[in-house]
Chains A and B, each alone.
Chain A
């Protein structure tokens, strides 16, 4: 039996999703790939049902914003874990600002439900096929996505605070 490691995992992904794979790297020993966002659900399904890899545990899902990279401003980062082989993979999908759509992975992982809502809440990324995509931590009336880089930490219109002495 071949050893299940990063190289094997990457080879399997390349064979099946070579067209959609944009880049692959291994920072700090964790296989990190960049994928076309439309293929994410297919890839995760493939890894989930793969007879030897069996990546069936969604560890983490979060958004990221790179305003200076035009056409790839918004991203979703998935960390998936194969508990059988103790192997992790990080998958990144990037989207342009005006087309922030990505397939929801809730059909595969119930755990993705709130994490996708959180990502929507903070970055405005629309997860197609999500059963209940609405804000989760912020108030429903909020009209912006606070973790995007263009929003300052504090509301600039506030008048009740004097920051003169704090160098801000």
Chain B
């Protein structure tokens, strides 16, 4: 950046300040530390320390039956845990070679896109908060609550949802759920338009964030960026289009891309993705096929409780699944989905045992956050804070 010349002036005579940003800093929205070497207001160098909420998920997953891994995935990117849950279900289904009925696919798409909206709302409104605009945040957080209400009526949980099952959904959408999604589709765009008016073409906001924390497309690809952060640099890589899963090929939507890869582009890509997600939900809801809400895999899909109490076969399967006695094929599979932050991959190695032999989560945050020092070098501390919040680094996903 333009400050490079300033830094290179007789290095020896300068004294640098070391500044600890974190581990618990209100502006980092998560527990991770940045040790910044500062030259006045300018960041000369930085080093990150992560792992403060490392919970050894990969080790735990080697000791748990498959269905018990779902709650672990909740806690990766907890801003959009349904996407993580679905990704895990689909990974196991791919290993088993199970095809889902269309209805399940569409239900999953609706849930995943709602989760994506809530994830992007958090990120974008927090960018505004970090620049000093609290208003938008309070508006859209009410609507994030409404999304959580929908999740609650589908699965009973709000934040860490554990939604869906391997082999389908735990229950069908009720009339109330469909109605609440329709209400959301009808009313949210008005609120969202207000939020857009507040920020998108706001001169002060634009001047504040245009050009902060930029990264080029080449560097972003080399750093393994995915998701909105990569698309902000102009690369149109989206797993939903590149390797469609869960019937995403049925829907008509566009992939927004940015140009400069700076904070404003990341903000705008997320804004546009919210609109595209609304389009997808509407299409999925209007074309929701009739049919069963689970696939015919009794060895893996937990049967409904009524069946378990009144039907011998269902009781046996329930017992086998809960005790982890179901036979799993030997094999290895990599499945990735488009999470809130980018390509969320699951590398699963099965040796036929009750638990995974090896499970590795490809967490998008973990991979792109390592580019942070390069992105903020030569910028001011306040720009670094905005750049960090626009990258949407979620500590749970970072540390697994």
Q: Indicate whether A56 reaches chain B with its CB closer than 8 angstroms.
A: yes
B11 within 8 A of A: no
**Do A59 and B224 contact each other (CB < 8 Å), given the known contacts A28-B94, A86-B243?**
yes
Give Cα distance in the complex from A156 to B144, angstroms.
Answer: 43
Q: Are A153 and B345 in contact (CB under 8 A)?
A: no
Known: A59-B345, A77-B347, A146-B59. A27 touches B332 (CB 8 A): yes
Q: A60-B360, A64-B358, A86-B243 are in contact. Are A28 and B333 (CB under 8 A)?
A: yes
Nearest B residue (CB) for A57:
B221
B305 contacts partner chain A, Cβ-Cβ < 8 Å? no
B345, A86: Cβ atoms under 8 Å? no
Q: Cα distance A59–B331 when bound, in Å?
A: 20
- A30 sits at the interface (CB 8 A): yes
What range describes how many residues of A lie at the interface? 20 to 34
Contact check, B237 vs A83: say whether CB atoms are below 8 A apart. yes
**A70 contacts B by Cβ under 8 Å:** no
CA distance A139 to B63 in the complex (A): 23
B50 touching A56 by the CB < 8 A rule? no
The contact of B54 among A65, A83, A138, A153, by CB within 8 Å, is A138
Please measure, in the bound complex, the distance between the C-alpha atom of A64 and the C-alpha atom of B333, giving whole angstroms. 14
Q: Name B368's closest neighbour in chain A (CB-CB).
A: A111
Give complex CA distance A137, B219 in Å.
Answer: 24
Q: Whole-angstrom distance between the alpha carbons of A79 and B345 in the complex? A: 10
Q: By the criterion CB–CB under 8 Å, are A110 and B333 in contact?
A: no
Q: Annotate B52-92 by CB proximity to A: 1 below 8 A, 0 otherwise.
A: 00101011101100000000000000000000000000000
23 of the cross-chain contacts (CB-CB < 8 Å) are A28-B95, A28-B332, A30-B333, A32-B332, A57-B224, A59-B224, A59-B362, A62-B358, A64-B349, A86-B243, A111-B224, A111-B370, A114-B367, A114-B369, A115-B366, A118-B366, A136-B50, A136-B51, A137-B54, A137-B399, A137-B400, A153-B62, A153-B63
Chain A residues proximal to chain B, CB less than 8 Å: 27-28, 30, 32, 56-60, 62, 64-65, 77, 79, 83, 86, 88, 90, 109-111, 113-115, 118, 122, 136-139, 146-147, 153
